[in-house]
Amino acid sequence: MIDSHCHLADDAFVDDLEEVTDRAKAAGLKSALCILDSTNPVEATRFRRVVEAWPSVRCATGVHPHQAGQYRDREDDVQSAVARAIAELPQACAVGEIGLDYHYDFAPRELQQEVFRRQVRLAREQALPVVIHTREADADTVAILLCGGCRPGAAGVGSRVLCVLFRDRHLPAGRGNPGGGETGPG
């Protein structure tokens, strides 16, 4: 069993990371997918300590909808920035968490959608799965996934992206994703 969504590189685990990973291993977890915020380099640095404590751990990185405002007026930079973050993390095996959050609306919805679309396109280009965050935005989230991040109004439907399960590019052979709860503050 693996934990498919945790935030072990979060500030919250700085004081007792090794105890947390020891407990996870003792509970039978073989690995975990640690979600990183690609706009926060500190998380990538903390993630190195997570890997030291738990070498089988893997990660996803991307621009969370809460952070979409950082790309206001520079949406063109999203794909290259996330691609760079992925390239710098040997354990990266997914783009995420990405999506839409209409509950908090920390960034304008249109900007959230554009940042999300661009990351779905990046995931398609790199043949990586996506990890989705969606809150009170189900219809728009599904619509963007179904068109593969295509531009609004684009004719036709792109190849569909419904790859929520791990592609085994970096994980040990045969390791699926049975799902699981979060370790950490979501």
Q: Are 2 and 33 in contact (CB under 8 A)?
A: yes
Nearest CB to Zn ion, comparing residues 9 and 35: 35
Nearest CB to Zn ion, comparing residues 35 and 95: 35
**Amino acid letter at 49?**
R
Residue with tokens 């036709």, as numbered in its chain = 156
Cα dihedral 50, 52, 54, 57 in deg (nearest 10): 60
CA distances from 58 to 86, 129, 162 (A): 12, 13, 20
Residue 186 within binding range of Zn ion, rule CB under 5 A: yes
Nearest CB to Zn ion, comparing residues 181 and 186: 186
Site string for Zn ion, 16-45 (x = CB under 5 A): -------------------x----------
CB 151 → Zn ion: shortest distance, Å? Answer: 27
Residue 185 within binding range of Zn ion, rule CB under 5 A: no
Q: Which residues bind Zn ion (CB under 5 A)?
A: 35, 186
